[in-house]
Amino acid sequence: MSRNPVTGPLCGLRILDLTRLLPGPLGTMLMADMGAEVLKIENPNSPDYVRMFPPHINGESVNYLAYNRSKKSVLLDYTTEEGRNAFLKLIDTADVLVEQFRPGQLDRLGLGYEAVHARNPQLIYVSVTGYGQTGPYAHLAGHDLNYLGLSGVLSLTGEPDQPPVIPGVQLADIAGGSYGCVMATLAAVYARQQTGEGQHVDVSMTDCVMPLLSVAYAMFAGTGIVPEQGRMPLSGGQPNYGVYRCRDEIDPDSGNAVFRYVALGTLEPKFWQKFCAVMNRPDWPGFMLPQSSDEADQYRRQIQALISERTQSEWVQLGIEYDLLITPILTLDQLANDPHLHARRMIIAQQHPVAGPVAAVGVPIKFSATPAHPAWPAPVLGADTADVLGEPTA
């Protein structure tokens, strides 16, 4: 059965996806959700090994399902002469190729940028790697944690005088790799409209995560003082901008105490003053400018005592009523029930032919004229090979 995108701003764009694991696959999935025809090409001898990552539902990895919806799955051994010839025929029809191998690996197969550019000069060739195509680290292996460490981002996470804390999500993989992949592809597509030529785009996850340092590095550049983790204004330094624990609630099912938190984001003076007025704390406006870390800790304890007087739901309602910049810190099991996230369709469900109903994160960007949405669940391995190639090619 032929599957083709029918809506989205990228309809008409054909992308060959050679990526594996998280960064590239999520980036190409975002473009597939936006209407691009994405052919996920896997070698039958070594398919995307995220397929092996648990947990599984009826044999299908939930991780694979999460990063590969709206794509077509093609099995093709491009390391053989026959498979390479079939792949080059796809190159003739493609707008973009996205790959995530170490530099030089596809060159050795005769599928590097120079080879495919000679065949299709309009092709955009996007290479997503940890450290980029050049530099002394270019050929080294790495993972999200390595890129965060090298970029300086990891040095700013956590509490004062404690070791850096590993973020709960893959910042370099996603902010650097996935979003970098999308940004690189679309910028190169626009450039091709002006020049008629494709190009090689070098996406380094380390490089692309470094703009997350923009505020912190500006402070360092302006003062010469290296920022301390947990002491910067936007990462714990200001008591009026932080995370606080609410009054414990009792879970109706288990009868156990449930710990909930809220984010207090009253950064600007006008919002903090309003919070102080609503809370009847006329002596608190000065809390936003503590003179020392000890004073900041003292103010933070007083705010924590106040927050502990109400449950999370009570604080959320109060925040909405008075526009106090108070939001719940939701756990993943709460996301689908949040009215705003529900209205924005940010948690969706799809019916997979093998795994059954699968919940996932929705499409983050909304288009008024060319709506983007998940076209179909992640395909089973090789489901579109015959349709794309005309016949299965090993």
The CA distance from 207 to 218, in Å, is 17
CA-based nearest residue to 178, from 133, 151, 144 = 144
The CA distance from 78 to 109, in Å, is 8
Model confidence pLDDT, tens digit, residues 368-385: 999 999 999 999 999 999
Give me the phi and psi of 124, to 5 degrees please: -95, 125
Average confidence (pLDDT) over 103-126: 97
133, 116 Cβ separation under 8 angstroms: no
Pick the residue with more confidence: 131 or 3? 131
Q: Token digits for 225?
A: 């003082």
- pLDDT at residue 1, rounded to an integer: 56
Residue 288 CB neighbour total at 10 angstroms:
22
Place 251 in a pLDDT band, splitting at 50, 70 and 90. confident
pTM: 0.94
Average confidence (pLDDT) over 279-300: 94
pLDDT averaged over the chain?
Answer: 95
The CA distance from 388 to 17, in Å, is 14
Residue 63 identity: N
CB-facing half-sphere around the CA of 127: CA atoms within 13 A: 22
**Tokens 């015959």 belong to residue:** 386
Helical segments of the chain, H only:
23-33, 62-67, 81-93, 113-119, 144-151, 171, 179-195, 205-209, 214-223, 269-278, 293-307, 312-322, 339-343, 385-389
**Res 393 pLDDT > 60:** no
